[in-house]
Structure 1
Amino acid sequence: MRAIIFDFFGTLTDPSAELLRKETIQATAAELGVSPERFWTAMAASFPDRIVGAYGGTRDTLRTIARQCGTDPDDERLDRAVATHRKGAERVRTPRRGVLAVLDHLRARNFRLGLISDCSSELFEAWPETAYAPRIDAPVFSWQERIRKPDPRLYATAAARLGVPAAECWFVGDGGSREHDGARWAGMRPVLVTNAGYPGVGGLRTDPDSYLPEHRIDELDELIRLLGPSHDNG
């Protein structure tokens, strides 16, 4: 095994931060002058299209969804909404406890590290400024690729950019979007992060896997032990 490919939300990020998602989107609605509940419903309904780039970037997305909700914001109001939305997105992608140290450990052991994320424009646009970016060799975003998990092309793209055959990659994720199904179909070894220590977040993943991986860890730092002593510097 030469490479590890991670899911992003709930895997590299603090799973508890997912509980902030509705609050942050409703703050955006307030800036747009849209009913918070109506805006939340519209954003949720548009998720499958937003994560494959159908609405464009964040600014265009917010304008489109606001119009669907019966409001046409002017540029000044839209500017404030975009700033609020990006600030909220930053809160939702807070790193989980110890994750940066885990990534640094794996890189020090010469593993190639990748990412496959079903994400909308906010993550793609902000990625270079995140703490994750210098630690991930090959990020693959559904928004940029215009396809979502478990499409095998995402996994093939990640492996190709890492320069590692799929059979020599592990895929680590918290489930949802049938991501572990996609990983095994691609020939990778799936690892489930159960997030057992984060009550209340288990039901937040959409389109859950029908497949339960053999390898399961509760917290991400357990991945180092799962790899075995030959990969652990103590």
Structure 2
Amino acid sequence: MAQVRVLALDFVGTLAGHGPSPDGRLVAKALSDLPGTVIPDDFPTRFDAVAHRFGESDHARGVRSTFATRLRRAAQDCGAGIPDLRLAMDAVFAALPDARIDVEAASALRNLHATGLRCVLASNTDRPERVRLQTLAGSGIADCFDALVLSGTLGIRKPDRRFYAAVTEAAACPPEDILFVGDNPENDAVGPHAYGMPSVLVRPGPRPAGLPSAIATISHLRELAAHLNNRKSRAG
């Protein structure tokens, strides 16, 4: 059994609760006051239609289109004028609260990091890296992470094998030395396991049917330290 050197941690459902997603009305409102920006009345409807269309296409292809791509396409479809896309994205995500980090999960992560484990955030998200870093910093855990691997930045989402390859590259160690921890059975447990990473599913309640026996389950991140200790005992 390989020694765990790096934790690859999911965000929503593992470290944090669920945050809101930007819909057309919120995006239009956030952009309406930006200098030089022109937002037609039908922009909210067009944006939601584009987001739905991209969502279906992304799911079928196993990729993750960026928020910037969807925003640009919606603007093209309705003739909106958005001269500075980066400024527009900053405005949207400044208006949209990120998911709230669980206090106990943050404490557990700090304790795990203090033992010498390196950490990589591995998340499917539309939010830019700078926004997620602000969220982590607000809970005092930004310095626990050596790298952030975000689907919106990569253009690839879990469970695409290329996502796990990016995690491995960010961790700078073999997959077998990385413990992937998250709440989604396919994305955070079965997918990493198939790539060669040990994984732990964070899931209160009964164990999901069909989950490979090699994948452990815990009900909360606070239980991860005990799991790692048991893993070391078995290896010894």
TM, length-normalised to structure 1: 0.70
CA shift digits 1:82-127 (9 cap, x unpaired)? 45421244x233212322212211111111111222233x332434
SS of 1:224's equivalent in the other structure is helix
CA contact (8 A) 2:10 2:122 kept: yes
Q: Which amino acid aligns with 2:226?
A: R
Percent identity, aligned pairs only?
25
What's the RMSD between the two structures over aligned residues?
3.6
Match of 1:107 among 103, 113, 129: 113
C-alpha separation between the residues in 2 aligned to 1:149 and 1:163?
19
- 1:51-70 map, 5 Å: 58=68, 61-68=70-77, 70=78
Aligned match of 1:215: 216
Partner residue, 2:34: none
Find the partner of 1:44 among 39, 45, 52. Answer: 52
Cα distance in 2, alignment partners of residues 222 and 92 from structure 1: 25
| Residue equivalent to 1:157 | 166
4, 13, 16: which is aligned to 2:7?
A: 4
Secondary structure in structure 1 of the residue aligned to 2:53: helix
Aligned counterpart, 2:128: 123
- AA partner of residue 26 (structure 1): R
- The Cα of 1:188 is off from its aligned counterpart by 1.2
Distance 1:151 1:228, change over 3 A: same
**Aligned residues of 1:34 and 1:66 also touching (Cα < 8 A):** no
Rg: which structure is higher? 2
Map Cα deviations across residues 20-76 of structure 1 (whole Å, 9 max, x no partner): 326x65311344444645533432332429x96755x74x642422333x2413549
Runs of 4+ residues over 6 Å off in structure 1: none
Q: Return closer, same or farther for 1:124/1:105 CA change in 2, 3 Å cut-off.
A: same
Unaligned 5+ runs, structure 1: 197-208
Distance 1:128 1:114 in 2: 12
Listed as ranges, the gaps of 5+ residues in structure 2 are 31-38
Does the 8 A contact of 2:119 with 2:147 survive in 1?
yes
| CA deviations over 1:176-233 (Å, ceiling 9, x no partner) | 663422211121112112266xxxxxxxxxxxx97466422222212223223798xx
What secondary structure, in the 3-state scheme, does the structure 2 residue paired with 1:143 have?
A: helix
Q: Cα deviation per residue 1:131-182 (whole Å; 9 max; x = unaligned)?
A: 2532211322233334332233332332343233211221111116634222
Number of the residue aligned with 1:21: 21
8 Å CA contact retained: 2:121, 2:148: yes
Aligned pair partner of 1:183 in 189, 192, 202: 192
Counterpart for residue 35 of structure 2: none
CA contact 1:194–1:216 (8 Å) conserved in 2: yes
Does the Cα contact within 8 Å between 1:193 and 1:217 map onto a contact in 2? yes
Instruction: For 1:108 and 1:81, locate their aligned partners in 2 and report how far apart those are by CA, in whole Å.
Output: 38
